Amino acid sequence: MEILIVEEGGFCFGVRRALEMAHDAIARERLTATLGPLIHNPQVVEQLRRQGVRVVEDIAQLDPGDTVILRTHGCSPDVHDQAQKRGVTVLDATCPFVTRAQREAQRLSDEGWQVLILGEPEHPEARSITEHTGGRAVIVEGPQDLQDLKLTDRVAVVCQTTQRIGDLNALVVALLSHARNLTVSNTICDATTQRQEASLALAGQVDVMIVIGGYHSANTTRLAQICSEVNSRTYHIERAHELQHQWIAGADRIGITAGASTPESAISDVYNALKQIAGEKPPS
């Protein structure tokens, strides 16, 4: 059995940076908490908890002198003020690509554009981008949401960084018949696009596709969605022990991809488990 792993899988730049900041602060005994889970991977969050770093949902849950790290998804601009008033130190691990999306939305909103954010309404990143427009921007999931909106003559589109380029195209085409002036800020991050394209290509060449990553991770869920469009034998798992023998019955080629917040160890665990299922000795 041949097992192929997407090269672009595993931690992306933003996640690696956030974890380095967290580990650096832990080493200096500075870190108390993360505001929301640092990344959407329960195993990594649990590891941080064992190192004494808890997850809080609100600055009010912290004490003066505490240090909190802001996650890659970013947060409301008010958080910095709240922390300062409470005497809490902030380490900002917002991914620079998310910051770019927040700034674009803010700029366009300040210039009087009606800002639409292509994203998931409940996702913290999409919400943080909206909060940077003072709540004026509206999150849409695609053209189907346009009918409920009263669109103006000046519409701007900004994207949650993990969106698909094809979905952005579809939204733009739909908007062209509504808005006389349309501006598009493609804030989808390159790491996301490359990972999606490489995963899609591999999914089309293998019998079974395994997508590894947190069930709450937007980019992993989207990867699974994309792969299942070309390969009906696509399975999304968080850990190796979830693999089921019947999934790979009769398969000659298996593909593996992983979300941006999936550790290398989770990928190699799945690889070794697949080798074992196939009756092959995993590499030492």
Q: Which residues of the chain form contacts with ligand SF4 (CB under 6 A)?
A: 12-15, 72, 95, 97-98, 161-162, 189, 191-192, 219, 260
CB 61, min distance to ligand SF4, A: 24
* Closer to ligand SF4 by Cβ: residue 97 or 113: 97
CB 192, min distance to ligand SF4, A: 5
Question: Of residues 120, 125, 131, 238, which has the active-site annotation?
Answer: 125
* Closer to ligand SF4 by Cβ: residue 61 or 193: 193
CB 243, min distance to ligand SF4, A: 25
Closest-approach residue to ligand SF4 (CB): 14
CB 48, min distance to ligand SF4, A: 17
Alpha-carbon span 96 to 84, nearest angstrom = 22
* Closer to ligand SF4 by Cβ: residue 22 or 95: 95
Active site residue 264: no
* Closer to ligand SF4 by Cβ: residue 91 or 174: 91
- Give the residue numbers marked as catalytic: 125
